[in-house]
Amino acid sequence: MLMSITNIFKLHRLTPCANLASPSMQKTEGRYECSHFLPSSINEKLRKPFNYCFSKKICWPSLGRSCKKWIKNPLNMALLLWTVCVAVSGAILFLVMTGMLNKILTKQSQRNSWFEVNNQFLNALFTLMCLYQHPKRLHHLVLLCRWKPNDIIILRKTYCKNGTCKPHEWRHMMVIVLLLHVNCFAQYALSGLNWGFNRSERPVVGVGICISIAIAAPSLAGVYCIVSPLGKEYETDEDAQNNIPISNTFTSRNEHSIAEYTPQWRGGLFDLWDNLSVACLTLFCSFCAFGRNMQRLHFGNMFVHVATFLLFCVAPFWIFNMATINIDDEPVRIVLRLIGIFLCVFGLLYGGYWRIQMRERFNLPPNKICCGNPAVTDCIQWLLCCWCSLAQEVRTEEFYDIVDDNFFCQKQTEKSEDYSSLSEIEFSRERKKNVMEAPIPLTIQVDDNDIKRT
């Protein structure tokens, strides 16, 4: 009797879950319910982090290897350096504001000078970060407005957990993207106040509002991405994915392509004479050639790469020069200008980072001439001769066909002709010349006398 009551009680508790999985559910009371989206149990979500933390011990060697691998990434190194600079300058600004440095900075003029220098330095760092991120955010806004199948794939990989379909995903993505744009515009407004007014004339209310919005907008975007359906796990069916292709596949333009498992760089670093048109393009239009090459290698949108690379190489100089407008200390102004020039030069590491990605994805031969590390060599090549490195990458990309993120080379005919530079019409004509035709059968002539004899 006790067992039967227990079973009935369990069945009663499981009934709502069975109803949740039924295909006949619809939108009720403002809550999205569909058979294609089955959220996991709340208790399981609450227990999973605690079980993971207490059931496993920290493997310090593995953690150390992960940290070393993370820090080897050039972008991660730049992010770490940016975080350290923000932390140090913010700490100094906090100490000056709270009066903890009054014993060291005895004069009010000294405290005002230190406050303004650190304030302008922090403002420049946050403005640069917003500028670097804004092209990608604008691109995502365009993708949301366009909302094509390939656009949905890119947006899901960026904002959705596990890159899968979520309920009302367009609406939630739009909220996050708009909040990130609000963050950028609030930071630009704050920069205008810092550069357009002296410290004594600067409106405190306006500065406070801009700082509050600039901090709150990305924070709300992060929380919303986790709390909203975008950050939750759902069991999805194939129909829920709307039959969207999983990956972008670019087929070869001809049938004479074979997979290249050991591709090689086309020419050396200084072999510019191999293709003068590419050399001139990379010399006089470096940013456009770089963006076009990145898009053809399937590394992202061309315009995003062009704008980001241009900002990396130009923006720091202007930002840090603008930061010196309200600073009266000449040595400090010189230091800030030198920092801007230094960051502009090291903006070329953006190209070095994508050269590393190109070499690793397509299995190109590494160069270990600098410290025995291929990644360091790639970055040094971009710093010392960015045009030569870019020309070599463009020559390599144009020589091969790209199918499913792999290099394919064209089969050589008996005449060893290279069709890579021909157009589609010219290629079809050249191809017809080399096609073997079947021999015409000989005609048999029969005389009339032979017919009469038979």
Q: What is the pLDDT of residue 337?
A: 93
- CB proximity list for 298: less than 8 A, separation 6 or greater: 248, 250, 402, 405
Q: What is the pLDDT of residue 248?
A: 39
Query: Of all residues in the chain, what percent carry a pLDDT higher than 70?
Result: 70
- Residue among 56, 218, 248 nearest 150 (CA): 248
At 123, which amino acid appears? Answer: N
188 within 8 A of 182, measured Cβ to Cβ: no
Q: What is the pLDDT of residue 262?
A: 79
pLDDT tens for residues 228-261?
Answer: 999 988 876 555 555 554 443 333 344 445 666 6
Q: What is the pLDDT of residue 75?
A: 80
Q: What is the pLDDT of residue 238?
A: 53
In this prediction, residues 296-314 reach a mean pLDDT of 93
In this prediction, residues 388-392 reach a mean pLDDT of 92
Q: What is the pLDDT of residue 105?
A: 87
For residue 55, is pLDDT > 80?
no
Helical axes 169-196 vs 302-323, angle rounded to 10°: 30
396 burial class (0-12, 13-18, 19+ CB within 10 angstroms)? buried
Cα separation, 124 vs 417, in Å, equals 55
For residue 217, is pLDDT > 60?
yes
Residue 416: band (very low, low, confident or very high) from pLDDT cuts 50, 70, 90:
very low
For residue 227, is pLDDT > 90?
yes
359 within 8 A of 368, measured Cβ to Cβ: no
Among the residue ranges 35-44, 97-106, 200-209, the one predicted with the least confidence is 35-44
Cα separation, 284 vs 278, in Å, equals 10
Q: What is the pLDDT of residue 363?
A: 85
pLDDT tens for residues 127-174?
Answer: 999 999 999 999 999 999 999 999 999 999 999 988 889 999 999 999
Do the bridges between strand 406-410 and strand 257-259 make them parallel or antiparallel, or are there none, so unpaired? antiparallel
Which comes out higher in pLDDT, residue 80 or 10? 80
In this prediction, residues 297-314 reach a mean pLDDT of 93
Phi, psi for 257 (deg, rounded to 5): -115, 135
Range among 24-38, 348-362, 398-412 with highest mean pLDDT value: 348-362
Which comes out higher in pLDDT, residue 330 or 5? 330
Cα separation, 393 vs 446, in Å, equals 68
For residue 419, is pLDDT > 50?
no
- Residue among 368, 363, 385, 389 nearest 293 (CA): 389
Q: What is the pLDDT of residue 410?
A: 53
Arithmetic mean of pLDDT over the chain: 78
